[in-house]
A and B are shown apart, each in its own frame.
Chain A
Amino acid sequence: MAEIREVFFQECEEQLGELESGLLRMEGGKKDAETVNAVFRAVHSIKGGAGIFALDGLVRFAHVFETSLDAIRSGKMQAEPHVMALLLRAADVLMDLVRAARKGEAVAETRTQDLVAEFSALAADGGAKPAAAKAAPPPAPPVPQVRKRTWIIRLTPKAALYAKANETALLLRELLRLGEAEVEIDTSQLPTLADLDPEGAYLTWTVTLTTDRDASAVREVFEFVEDDCELEVFERPDFNFFGMDAPERQAEAIEAVPATVKAEEVHVQHDVETAASPHPVDVMAAQAEVSSSVSATIRVDLDRVDRMIDLVGELVITEAMLNQRVLEAGLARTSAVAMALEELEALTREIQDSVMAIRAQPVRSVFQRMPRLVRELAIQTSKQVRLIMEGEGTEVDKTVIERISDPLTHMIRNAIDHGLESPAARLAAGKPAEGLVRLTALHRSGRIVIEVADDGAGINRPVVRAKAIERGLVGPDAQLTDDEIDNLIFLPGFSTAATISDISGRGVGMDVVRRSVQAMGGRISIASRPGQGSTFTLSLPLTLAVLDGMVVKTSEQTLIIPLGAVLETLRPNTADIYPLDNRSSVLALRGGYVPIVDVAEVLEFGQRSSVPDQSVALLVESEGGSRAILLVDEIQGQRQVVIKSIEANYRAVYGIAAATVMGDGHVALILDVDAIVSVTRDSARTDLSRSNLQVF
C-alpha cells in the first residue's frame, strides 16, 4: 500500500505541474478547450487518487476547485483575471495540501477555508445569471445526492493488474466505502491445479453496490487499474426509482449502457450535462480527453536507468581497453578485428547516446516551480512582476535538472529583490509599473544555456564597488572595468548581513550560486546595463556523466582537462616568458600577458621532466572568464571520458574535479580548471594560499 501511495504522490506532483502550467497558459490568454481540460483533468485526477487514500481534506478542497474549473470549462464562468488569480492561489494551496498529505501533516484549515469561501462567492456571482445557476459550486462539502442507486460492477482483472502490484481486495474494499454492497465471485474460469499459471488471473467479481454516488465515482475507484482489467459498470435495470426528474433519468439510461472505455464515459456524461444546449467546448473537451489517454510512455525506476548508465560507462571503458590491446598487438587497420572493433565503437557511442537520452528531461519540471516563487516574491516585495518563460521543453540530463533548481531559485529571487525596482520607481523612470523577468532555456553548442533576465535598474556599479572595498574584497584604488565590477557580486563574502533581506539574502550570496554551478561543470556570467536590467547566463553541460576532455601528461601523471575550458594549445618560446617574481611568471601572448600555471607544481606532482620551452602550453579560461596558461609535458589526444566521482569513496581533492578510467584500466584525474586558474589570483591576493600552494 505504501508503494501505491508513493506512486500516487509522484503522479500528484506531475498533475500539479500540469495544473500550474495549464493555468499559466490560461492566464496568458490561451483559454481553448484543451488547456482548460488539461487543468480540469489534473485537479480531477488528484481528487480521484486522494479519495482512494481517504485524504478527505484534499478531496474536499479539490472538489471545490474542480467545480469552479468545470464551470469555466462549460462556459458558465469566464476566466477573468481575478478568477485566474484565485485559481492560481488555489493551485498553490492544493500543492501544499498534497505535500502535507504526503508527509502526513495537517494543513491550517483557515487557508483552505478562505479559498473555499472565495470560490463560493465567485460561484454566487456567476449564479446571478440564470443560465449558470445550476453550475454554482456548493460550499465546502460536495452536495450529497440524496437518491440512492444500485450499480452492478463486474470486474475481471488481467494478469497485468497483479503484476503491477495492485490488489483486488483493496479495490473492492474501496468500493464498499461508497455504500452497501454484495460481492460475488465467479470462479468458473479457474483451471485445475495442474494447468494453473501461478501468475495468471482467472477470477471475476460482481459487486452489487447501493450508493448515492454516480457512475464516475464508482469508476474512479478503478482509475489506476482500468487498463489492466475488464470493467463494466451499469445501473441495475430493475431498480425502480422513477419520477424524480424525467430528463435526467432518461440521460442516465444512456449511462447505464456498459461502458468499458473511459472516453466513452466522458462523452456520455457531457451529453447528459449539456443535453439542453450543447456547448461546443464540451465536445472538444471530450475529444481532448480521448487524445490524451493514448500515451506511449512508461514509468521506470530511476535506479534501473542509473544502473544502465553505469554499465554503458563500463562498456565504453572496456571498448577502449580492447582498442588499446588491438593496437598493441600491431594488427593492421584493415584487419577484420580492427574493422569489427570500429563497428563496436560506433555502436557503443550510439548506445551511450540513447541511454543518455532516456535520462534527458525537459527543464519544465524546474521551470514550473518558478511562477509560484515569483507570485510569492511579488507579494512580499510589493513589486509587480511578470514572468516570461521560454524553452521549457529544452532537454537536459536528469542529474543536471536536479541541481539547477536551487541556483535558479536564487537567481530569480535576486532578480526580483535586487534587480527590479518598485512600481513607483519604475514609473518615474518611464518604464511600465510591471517588471519583467524572463527565464529562457536553449541548447547552444552542446550545452544548455539558461538565462534569467530582468528589466530592472541593472547593477549599481558605484554601490557594488564601494561595498566590495568596504568588505576588503578589492583595494580602494583598484582600477576595475565595468565587467569586473559586475563580477564582484560573485565573490564570497560580498553578500553579508547588511544586505540580508527576507528574500534573497538568506545568508547565501551569488558566490554560492556560482560555486554550485561550477561544481557541475557550468559557468555563470552576468551582463548588466544601467537602467535597462541585468541578464544572468548559466551555461551547463547537458550531462554530468560524460565529458569531452584533452588527455595530457605531466610529471608522469595522466590528466584530463575539460575541452570546454581549453581555448588553444601552443608551444611557448622561452623568450616570451617573463618571470614576475621567483614564483610566478607570465607569457606574452598577442600583446597581452597571461599568468602561467605549472600544473605539476600546483598539484605537487614533483618536478616536470621538460623545461618550459619544451613543454606544451594550454590557454584555458575559467568559468569566471579569467585566463591562464597551463604548462604540461605533452598532449596525448582528445577523448570522451566517463566521469567518476572521487568523493563517493574519498573526499574532494584540491585542483581535481573528478576522475575517469582510461583505456588501460588506470584512473586518470580530471583537472578542475577553475581551481587551478584561481591559483594565480589567490597567490597574488592572500599570503595564506601562497604558503599552501608553493612548493619550492
Chain B
Amino acid sequence: MDVSSANSEIRELIAFRVGRQEFSINIMSVREIRGWTSATMLPKAPRYIRGVINLRGAVLPIIDFAVRLGLPATEPTARNVIIVVQIQQKQIGLLVDAVSDILTLNSNKIQPTPDIASDTVSSFLRGLIPVDGRMISLIALDNVLPADSAAVV
C-alpha cells in the first residue's frame, strides 16, 4: 500500500464502484470476490458494519463501503458484491456495488490527494488516478476498519 516509496513501479489495482464513484485497492490484498448474502447484524456496531457472514466457516465482518465514506447506505441486492480483503491478520468483506476494472499502471500516474477531502475520507485515501477520463481514488485499507478495532468494547 505504500505509494510514496517507489515512484515508477508497476502496480496492479482492482477498481470498484460505490454509487457514482470509483475506487481501487491493491490487488495483492484481495482474497476473493463473492456475491452478496445477507449478513447477521452485530449489536452496537458502527453504522458501516453491515454485520457478519459465513465465509467457509470463518466469521467475516462486512463493511458497507458507502457508509464508511459517509454516503447513503447501500441497499444490497444479488448484484452487489463483497470484496474479501486481507488487512494485516484480519479478513474483512467490503460491500460495494460492482467490480469495474483491473488496472495495471505505473505508480507515477498516481496523483496526490488534494487537501480538501474530509478527515474520514482522507484518512484512507492515498491518491487519485485518472483513467480514460474517469477519476479513480486509491484506497489504503489499513484505516478502513475503525482504529479501535483491536480494543475490547
Could you say which residues of chain B place their CB within 8 Å of the CB of A669? 40, 42-43
CA distance A317 to B55 in the complex (A): 12
Could you say which residues of chain A place their CB within 8 Å of the CB of B90? 648-650
A659 at the interface (CB under 8 A from B): yes
| Chain B residues numbered 27-54 whose CB sits less than 8 Å from any CB in chain A | 37-45, 49, 51-54
**Are B38 and A644 in contact, CB atoms less than 8 angstroms apart?**
no
Closest to B56 in A: A314
Interface centre among B49, B52, B61, B152 (most CB of A within 10 A): B52
CA distance A605 to B51 in the complex (A): 12
B60 at the interface (CB under 8 A from A): yes
**Are B40 and A649 in contact, CB atoms less than 8 angstroms apart?**
no
B153 at the interface (CB under 8 A from A): yes
**Are A649 and B54 in contact, CB atoms less than 8 angstroms apart?**
no
CA distance A659 to B39 in the complex (A): 13
**Are B44 and A651 in contact, CB atoms less than 8 angstroms apart?**
no
**Are B153 and A654 in contact, CB atoms less than 8 angstroms apart?**
yes
Q: Which of A138-146, A190-198, A660-668 contacts B (4 or more CB under 8 A)?
A: A660-668
B114 at the interface (CB under 8 A from A): no
B151 at the interface (CB under 8 A from A): yes
CA distance A464 to B28 in the complex (A): 57
Could you say which residues of chain B place their CB within 8 Å of the CB of A667? 39-40, 51-54, 59
| Chain A residues numbered 97-155 whose CB sits less than 8 Å from any CB in chain B | none
Q: Give, as a whole number of angstroms, the nearest-CB distance from A328 to chain B.
A: 18
Closest to A558 in B: B40
Closest to A519 in B: B152
A501 at the interface (CB under 8 A from B): no
Chain B binding surface, main DSSP class? mixed
Q: Give, as a whole number of angstroms, the nearest-CB distance from B100 to chain A.
A: 26
CA distance A421 to B61 in the complex (A): 52
**Are B52 and A659 in contact, CB atoms less than 8 angstroms apart?**
yes
| Chain B residues numbered 96-153 whose CB sits less than 8 Å from any CB in chain A | 148-153
A310 at the interface (CB under 8 A from B): yes
Could you say which residues of chain A place their CB within 8 Å of the CB of B6? none
| Chain A residues numbered 317-375 whose CB sits less than 8 Å from any CB in chain B | 317
Q: Which of B38, B52, B56, B57 contacts A650 (CB 8 A)?
A: B52
Could you say which residues of chain A place their CB within 8 Å of the CB of B61? 646, 649-650
B58 at the interface (CB under 8 A from A): yes
Could you say which residues of chain A place their CB within 8 Å of the CB of B152? 651-652
Q: Which of B43, B54, B58, B148 contacts A653 (CB 8 A)?
A: B43
Q: Which of B40, B52, B57, B150 contacts A313 (CB 8 A)?
A: B57
Closest to A661 in B: B54
**Are B43 and A605 in contact, CB atoms less than 8 angstroms apart?**
yes
A557 at the interface (CB under 8 A from B): yes
Q: Give, as a whole number of angstroms, the nearest-CB distance from B17 to chain A.
A: 24
B82 at the interface (CB under 8 A from A): no
Q: Which of A603, A651, A654, A665 contacts B150 (CB 8 A)?
A: A651
Q: Give, as a whole number of angstroms, the nearest-CB distance from A452 to chain B.
A: 27
B92 at the interface (CB under 8 A from A): yes
Q: Give, as a whole number of angstroms, the nearest-CB distance from A31 to chain B.
A: 51
B91 at the interface (CB under 8 A from A): yes
Could you say which residues of chain A place their CB within 8 Å of the CB of B58? 644, 648-649
Q: How many residues of A contact B (CB 8 A)?
A: 29
CA distance A603 to B45 in the complex (A): 10
**Are A666 and B54 in contact, CB atoms less than 8 angstroms apart?**
yes
Q: Which of A310, A652, A654 contacts B57 (CB 8 A)?
A: A310
Closest to B55 in A: A649
Contacts known (A654-B44, A667-B52); A649 close to B57, Cβ less than 8 A: no
CA distance A665 to B150 in the complex (A): 27
Q: Give, as a whole number of angstroms, the nearest-CB distance from B28 to chain A.
A: 18
**Are A654 and B54 in contact, CB atoms less than 8 angstroms apart?**
no
**Are A650 and B54 in contact, CB atoms less than 8 angstroms apart?**
no
Could you say which residues of chain A place their CB within 8 Å of the CB of B52? 646, 650, 659, 667
A655 at the interface (CB under 8 A from B): yes
CA distance A329 to B57 in the complex (A): 25
Could you say which residues of chain A place their CB within 8 Å of the CB of B45? 653
Closest to A660 in B: B59
Q: Give, as a whole number of angstroms, the nearest-CB distance from A641 to chain B.
A: 12
Closest to A655 in B: B43
**Are B57 and A661 in contact, CB atoms less than 8 angstroms apart?**
yes
CA distance A654 to B45 in the complex (A): 9
Closest to B57 in A: A314
Q: Which of A604, A644, A651, A668 contacts B151 (CB 8 A)?
A: A651
Closest to B45 in A: A653
Q: Please report A residues at the B interface, Cβ cutoff 8 Å.
A: 310, 313-314, 317, 557-558, 602-605, 644-646, 648-656, 659, 661, 665-669
15 residue pairs bridging A and B, Cβ less than 8 Å apart: A602-B43, A644-B59, A648-B58, A650-B92, A651-B150, A652-B153, A653-B153, A654-B153, A655-B43, A656-B43, A659-B52, A661-B54, A665-B37, A666-B53, A666-B54
Known interface pairs A652-B152, A667-B40; 15 further A-B residue pairs with C-beta atoms within 8 A, sorted by A's residue number: A310-B57, A558-B40, A603-B44, A605-B43, A648-B59, A649-B58, A649-B59, A651-B152, A653-B43, A656-B42, A656-B43, A661-B57, A661-B59, A667-B39, A667-B51
